[in-house]
């Protein structure tokens, strides 16, 4: 019988590698923020891409989604996609405060 627990590697080495990659990505984000190499829109895009990569690593390894069955992965990705879509729908509503003149 093939189970997710049977293929789960409990070695600490992979967690240290993931932790190292997360530290490296965080350092890249800090350097990009302080040097301001890009225009604001490109900076936002670069930081968002790095954040998505970091969150995927955290969810996959530290929250062990990598070892779950495919159905659980689909449920998780569907929920994340729905949340992102809702954010994109309702985020423009936040700009109404600019037009109200409230400070």
What's 90's DSSP letter?
H
Q: What is the pLDDT of residue 10?
A: 65
pLDDT of residue 87: 85
Which phi and psi (to 5°) does residue 95 adopt? -75, -10
Reported as a single tens digit per residue, the pLDDT across 12-39 is: 888 899 999 999 999 999 999 898 888 8
DSSP-based three-state secondary structure for 9: coil
58 Cβ contact list (under 8 Å, min separation 6):
22
| pTM score above 0.75 | no
Average pLDDT over residues 73-85: 88
- Of 51, 65, 92, 50, nearest in space to 8 by CA: 65
Residue 14 host element (H or E): helix 12-35
């Amino acid at each position: 019988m093939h189970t997710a627990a049977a293929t789960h590697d409990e070695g600490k080495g992979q967690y240290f590698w993931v932790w190292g990659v997360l530290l490296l990505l965080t350092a890249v984000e800090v350097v990009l923020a302080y040097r301001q190499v890009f225009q604001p829109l490109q900076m936002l895009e670069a930081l968002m891409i790095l954040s998505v990569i970091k969150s995927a690593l955290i969810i996959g390894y530290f929250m062990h989604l990598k070892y779950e069955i495919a159905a659980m992965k689909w449920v998780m990705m569907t929920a994340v996609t729905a949340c992102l879509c809702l954010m994109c729908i309702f985020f423009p509503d936040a700009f109404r405060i600019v037009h109200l003149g409230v400070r």
